[in-house]
Amino acid sequence: MTLFRALYAPAYFIAFVGAAAMLVSTGGSPVWLIALLALAIVTSLVAERVAPFEPVWNRSHGDARRDLAHALVNEGSILVLVLLLPVLASFVPWSSIWPASLPFWAELVLAIVLLDAGISLAHFASHRIPLLWRFHAVHHSVRRMYGFNGLLKHPVHQLIEISVGTLPWLLLGIPHDVAIVGSFAVAVQLQLQHSNVDMRVGPLALLWAVAPVHRHHHLASETDGDVNFGLFLTIWDVLLGTAQFRSSDHIGAGSLGIAGRSDYPAAYLAQLVEPFTTEMAMTDPASQRNAGGKR
């Protein structure tokens, strides 16, 4: 079991992202990535029962249907955006300057780093700008962490993050096949970042923003949760001064959510509407910070 905990995260990422890269780079139909993502989700759910970090988080909190709805809508929106990239690229008034002569794996690494920078900065801004926070709060309303609810986001916030993250791709003229695998890698990373597997990644936690690092970010605390915004890498938090590398072993049931908002809606449709309510729209950002209401 110790070996499983140590190898799970890197093996999961390499296996699924590697399989996606091999499939797409060899001319396989990207449609198969849907089945591959479904397999990744099932694998994550099984692993969480083999070696759970917090056993209580494996029990349904009445959130399974809601999380499924979020996943279908948000992953569907990513699919649509990727399909639209060639159309959007046609409006860029210069030829592609993407380093297409690199090996496919090197292009993929570059794509992930560029995407990660944009998404992480948008995430950071969403904890500073009240309008963005209203939509991002949906993601922080979760009361347990398990891989599947890494895909839980308000569609508006999803659109903002992905638009900012993929802007460098668009401006540089990323090849469509690299963009497809890069987008798939996001879904895989979100599974690992919110996983309930008791993974032990050792020094990798200083570089890689997986669950032991990201749990701090979901604490229902204005100060303790204001850390670790990176999606793939921790370097952005090091640069922003928001990196937290202490052990997260103490973070368990009852410690997650939005402080001061125990009444935050749990149903899917109610969560879609919540950012537009009068109460949320009139909330003063200073009072949110003073009350600890953002984490």
Distance spanning both ends of the chain, measured CA to CA: 33
Inter-residue contact 212 to 205 (CB < 8 Å): yes
pLDDT of 232: 98
From CA 224, how far away is CA 13, in angstroms rounded? 28
Q: Which residues contact 279 (CB under 8 A, 6 or more apart)?
A: none
Residue from 35, 59, 46, 42 nearest 4 by CA: 46
* CA nearest to 100, candidates 25, 175, 167, 180: 175
Query: Residue 181 in contact with residue 24, Cβ under 8 Å?
Result: yes
SS3 state at 44:
helix
Looking at residue 5, what is its pLDDT?
Answer: 96
- Which residue positions in the chain have pLDDT lower than 50? 281-295
What does the domain layout of the chain look like in residue ranges?
2-291
d(Cα 78, Cα 88) in Å, to the nearest integer?
14
Q: What is the pLDDT of residue 161?
A: 94
